[in-house]
Chains A and B, each alone.
Chain A
């Protein structure tokens, strides 16, 4: 168990492609950090630099108090779980778990104790003699985790470990990974492109975009106060509605078209306005009061069970927004809606930089 410190870590590939552009993160002992972002954002590269599978171009990676930039992966005291499990196909499950320990010259009895213990925790005791190809995806995933656990490392590194599982199993394993991490208290860095996985697992989220950190914070803080339009649209499903708006003496209105009215709260003349789908409340008509009022025409109603999503155009043929409503709401295409947004639920971003304006 240990802290991990990244200090302005950069990765430049041949051909001057900068995959990671000076990232600094302090990871506390026992913390579960999730690196999340779209593909190509540098999250996997960052994880692989912590693991020692990629060279660090500049900057420092510390595990505990030790600078590990030039330390071999095997000597970094980390364990990694790969997306495709990377189990040794010709070895039994037992040997898959034991291989790393054998290479370290560990005593046979101790190896056996650790393998049995990991097998007990992960409930794979019955499969120890089988080969990986005789296991289902979920079981292989457990073996891959077991290989990490037996090492009793300072940190677990997860590289999209659930991507190859079907949806149901993914939810189940997600819960299990969280429970396991809590029980073992091992510092963990987890890479995913799935914002839901990120939200549910993380103590702190690190949202990456184009090799830069967009935001670091507890999942709910990131959700409530996204630092940029990128984070706003990436975290949360359906994504936050982002609208180009202008403001003048008469208050707020859409940059193009009608359908939005409200007071100018921030004293600028252009914004990107962000509204979460669940923060729009249906009202009977324009009735004043503070906050924003939207007028929209229903295009499609999409019931997903527990709730429904309305896709509606602002004004007459303006930008489309998504509104989350109760599953019992009944709406027809072409129906007109008045939607109210409380002032505290309106997010304002700089129209040019996309950064949040508080």
Chain B
């Protein structure tokens, strides 16, 4: 008993070590200046440039056009993450609602078609998607960043499974209580799905936040750059004898981690509830 407990902890600690070390090293490295990093590589002790580096990435306009600072990129990433998560939740809840509660021809087929799109990642349809966005004139807009990605097979699937587990009597009781389809959705289903919504929100927010390929394609205007793209941008200025600002890249990477971590920490209790507990 005790022996297995010790082993359990050893394994867990090893997992924690592998997960956390890169983050800690990135943070430590981000507190040095670029020259030290260039000469000595990754740093294992804190340096003295914490404030300067973070101030630079947050507030000093950089990039090619000198229009965008870290703060703007943070804002853009937030807009993308939130729009992505909220959009996906709304669309997939409505889709699941239609599939589960309304009898329409080929509903099952519809569901499986939606489900099958899971097999087609963004990369597969990237050319036609870009073509459409471009023809609609949505290149370099927030809606161009968000809308083409908000259909979600995963979300639809999870909400479908959840709705299927809601007892039919609840619908029947609501019908007798005079609730129409919209009222039933709004008054009963949405509140019941709270924990599910929270769980999907976290997953989708982080997913949206970490998007790289799509924003790279859709936004050429630097004022729409997201944090994840910003990191790349900093390292790209290898012009002449200039040393890439590794310190700033690390600082930006650390900043990019913070909001998703905050979201997970804040929603964590809900998230776990959504996964393990049904409030029915």
Contact = CB atoms under 8 A, between A and B. Distances in A.
Please tell me the size bucket of the interface on A.
Answer: 20 to 34
Nearest to B172: A53
B178 interface: yes
A1 interface: no
Interface in B176-207: 176-179, 183, 187-188, 191-192, 194
Nearest to B191: A90
Given A99-B187, A103-B183, A86 B169 contact: yes
Contacts, number: 62
Interface residues of B, number: 19
A100 interface: yes
Contacts of A75: 178
A109 B191 CA distance: 26
A74 B179 CA distance: 8
A73 interface: yes
Interface stretch (A77-85, A119-127, A211-219, A244-252): A77-85
A299 B172 CA distance: 50
Given A89-B279, A90-B279, A79 B176 contact: yes
B101 to A, nearest CB: 14
B66 interface: no
B170 A86 contact: yes
A328 interface: no
Contacts of A88: 170, 173-174, 187-188
Given A86-B170, A88-B170, A74 B177 contact: yes
Contact of A89 (B174, B176, B177, B280): B280
Contact of A74 (B176, B187, B279): B176
B173 to A, nearest CB: 4
Contact of A103 (B169, B179, B279): B179
A104 B175 CA distance: 12
A104 B176 CA distance: 11
A7 to B, nearest CB: 23
B172 A80 contact: yes
Interface in B79-114: none
B128 interface: no
Contact of B177 (A51, A53, A83, A99): A99
B137 interface: no
Contacts of B240: none
A117 B167 CA distance: 29
B175 A82 contact: no
Contacts of B179: 74, 99, 103
A143 to B, nearest CB: 12
Nearest to A100: B177
Contacts of A99: 174, 177, 179, 187
Given A90-B279, A99-B187, A82 B169 contact: yes
B169 A73 contact: no
A206 to B, nearest CB: 22
Contacts of B174: 88, 99
A89 B172 contact: no
Contact of A100 (B169, B178, B279, B280): B178
6 contacts: A51-B176, A52-B175, A74-B179, A86-B170, A88-B187, A133-B279
Interface of A: 51-53, 72-75, 78-80, 82-84, 86-90, 99-100, 103-104, 133, 147
Given A73-B175, A78-B176, A90-B192, 4 more contacts: A74-B179, A82-B172, A86-B172, A133-B279
